[in-house]
Amino acid sequence: MNAKVERLRAPCPVGACDGSGWIVDDDEVAHPCECRGRRLAQARTRGVNHILPARYRSVSFDAPPVSDMARDPRSRAVVAGIRAYLDALDDNVAEGRGLWLMGDVGTGKTTLAMLVSRHAIEAGKSVGIYSLPRLLAQIRRTYDADSREDSYLAFFDRLTSVDVLHVDDLGAEKSSDWVLEQLYAIVDERYQARRAMVVTTNLRVEQLEEQIGERTVSRLVEICGDPLPLFGDDLRYRVA
């Protein structure tokens, strides 16, 4: 079995270890190889590219539109709040604290939420990213799944067990008893398990309560705190 493991290991890119990422000295003490940093960086990049939509894979505090938002009086406090959250990311995720971005269409809510998700992925956290319509559509598909596909319980378990669940466009789906039930079940389970959520919505608190129910919004407040408001012009229509 050891020989098989050795054959499956990728060679050390710096030629120093046996591919395991560790060097054992003459005293039988293991030390990390220089290649470990490279391998970890490559793994983080693969994680970002696999999970984040292509448009947001390079999102950064140092590049537009986030750098522009950090200078804009209408959004700089929110950007500062995102930075403060990420500075304490490990503690926030461990305690199940999330973020809630609320505001007008095109003001950068999704971009900032994706920035949080990117940092979480790079920090080794498990992250699930869904728009609300896509999330509900996938739940509906589990009802028709055969034995080779996700059952409802398996998918629900994934939704509620990832370190960070990112839900975009909360309140975008037409309300029904079924939608209200699904949202409350997910949010309540994550609340009970102290697992973080990152959510965006175009609706103010009162409108969101009408759309998805007061119980669900109350749980979101417990998880995410007060919403970070982003109001103003649609950034997509700004001419450079």
User: Among residues 149, 40, 64, which one has the least CA distance to residue 112?
Assistant: 64
Per-residue buried b or exposed e for 33-54, using 16+ beta carbons within 10 Å of the residue's own CB: bebbeeeeeeeeeebbeebbee
- Together in a domain, 15 and 128: no
**Spatial separation of the C-alpha atoms in residues 14 and 39, rounded to whole Å:** 11
Instruction: Note whether 27 and 78 are same-domain residues.
Output: no
Structural domain includes residue 47: no
Q: What pLDDT shows up at residue 19?
A: 73
Same domain for 141 and 22: no
Q: Is 39 a residue whose pLDDT tops 70? A: no
Boundaries of domain holding 23:
2-37
Same domain membership, residue 19 and residue 123: no
Q: Summarize the confidence of residues 114-122 as an average pLDDT.
A: 94
- Domain assignment of residue 43, yes or no: no
pLDDT of 225 above 70: yes
Residues 123-143 have a mean pLDDT of 89
Q: How confident is the model at residue 174 (pLDDT cuts 50, 70, 90)?
A: confident
**pLDDT-based confidence at 52, cuts 50/70/90?**
confident
Higher-scoring residue by pLDDT: 105, 167: 167
**Is the distance from CB of 173 to CB of 134 less than 8 angstroms?**
no
147 lies in a domain?
yes
Sign of the torsion formed by the C-alpha atoms of 127, 199, 138 and 154:
positive
Cis peptide before 53 (omega within 30 of 0): no
Question: Does residue 136 have a pLDDT over 80?
Answer: yes
Give phi and psi for 31, each to the nearest 5: -125, 145
Tell me the C-alpha distance between 111 and 195, whole Å: 22
Q: What is the rounded distance in angstroms from the CA atom of residue 30 to the CA atom of residue 125? A: 26
- Cα–Cα distance, 112 to 61 (Å, whole number): 9
Name the pLDDT band for 222 (thresholds 50, 70, 90): very high
Stated pTM of the model = 0.77
CA 174, CA 165: separation in Å to the nearest integer? 21
On whether both 138 and 217 belong to a single domain, the answer is yes
Residues in contact with 187: Cβ distance below 8 Å, sequence separation at least 6, in sequence order: 197, 216, 219, 220, 223
CATH code of 198's domain: 3.40.50.300
The residue count of the chain comes to: 240
Point out which residues pair with 167 in neighbouring strands.
130, 199
Most confident residue range from 4-8, 169-173, 200-204: 200-204
Residue-level pLDDT at 143: 80
Q: Looking at residue 147, what is its pLDDT?
A: 47
Distance CA 135, CA 28 (A): 50
pLDDT: is 4 or 229 the higher one? Answer: 229
Domain assignment present for 32: yes
Residue 49 lies in a domain: no
- Rounded to whole angstroms, the Cα distance separating 64 from 146 reads 45
Q: With bands split at pLDDT 50, 70 and 90, how would you rate the model's confidence at 83?
A: very high
